[in-house]
Amino acid sequence: MLVTLPSTFDESTIAELMVQLDACREVDDVTIDFGRLRYSKPIAMLVAGSKLREWRQYRVQRGYRSWQKGITAAISAHSYLMHLGFFNFVHIDEGNQVGQALGSKKYLPITRIERPVVDPILDGVQEWYDTIELEARRLGGVLAGSHDDSEELRTYTYCIREVIRNVFEHARVNECYICGQRWANGTVEIAIIDEGAGLYATLADTHQVDGDEAALTLAARPGVSRVAAQSLAPNVYDNSGFGLFILTQLAGSFGWFVLGSGSAMMIGHGQARSYVPCSFAGTYFGMRLNSPPKDFGSVLAEIIAAGEDEARTSGISRRASGRTRLVGVS
């Protein structure tokens, strides 16, 4: 059986690829043809890579044969994927290993982040933060367009760090993956994925959620985390539940975002949210900024104020942690 990849890894092709891979999951002797692939965007690349990776691992465990063809450095998209560590990520021996490329303010290759060995109860939550700060800052620098200290970089780093922290606190896995790309016209796209339990499984412990779509909607609201409905004592990570909310609001206003888990993917443009089926073992978040806010501080302050008002209206008595550090107000 032959599975031909699309000409472009982007948000419009990823769902169909998931369907194709699921359809031949139990079929022996399947070949993945990369020959048509000519362009790849970070979100779809990382999501497709994780899906392919899980698909191949499943088939190896059951003794099914899988092949690949059409990969060549003569095609620029393939060379790009080789450089970013994509093929190594999906267990194909082509190009750099994951994390081997250095990256820059213009891109971050596929990068693996491991669960910190720090115990936040014994060693303090700040040491927990510090262990993932470097990678969060690297990805934040791609969003900000610079690794020089700025309000934008501090904000993006904080939000990304909170999303990554959520993975290790809730998703029941020991690693996650990130990547990002900034283009010459100023458009930027980043992705964060984990291959864990999924949003529904993690939120259902403490919230009333009816399936994957409801879990996606809830996860993007301000002040929501698995620990928000518990007493403050178990919340050793000081998880405010605002990191993902801030990123989705920025992306919705200045581009778009996707949040997928289990059987559903939520797409956000402005305040509109739409849902499409997907099939993903874990959770992924991706955002694209077509243009940056001109007055970042004011936009951020409005987002946080509106989020805190919404959280209070919903009965959640939480504020965005680190607010003074982020926007310079008390």
Q: Domains in the chain, start-ordered, CATH in brackets?
A: 2-89 (3.30.750.24), 107-327 (3.30.565.10)
Q: What per-residue confidence (pLDDT) applies to 126?
A: 74
- pLDDT value at 309 more than 70: yes
What integer is the mean pLDDT of 117-146?
84
Task: List Cα–Cα distances, 224 to 45, 54, 203, 247, 298, in angstroms.
Answer: 28, 29, 9, 14, 23
Q: What per-residue confidence (pLDDT) applies to 235?
A: 38
Instruction: Give the CA-trace dihedral at 200, 115, 50, 80, to 10 degrees.
Output: 140
DSSP letters of 11-25? TTTHHHHHHHHHHTT
DSSP state of 237: T
Q: Is 263 exposed, middle or buried (0-12, 13-18, 19+ CB in 10 A)?
A: middle
Helix (H) or strand (E) holding 108, with range, is strand 107-114
State if pTM tops 0.85. yes
Which phi and psi angles does 16 have, rounded to 5°? -65, -35
Instruction: Report the mean per-residue pLDDT for the chain.
Output: 88
pLDDT digits (tens, 9 = 90+) for 210-267: 999 999 999 998 877 544 444 333 433 344 678 899 999 999 999 999 999 999 999 9
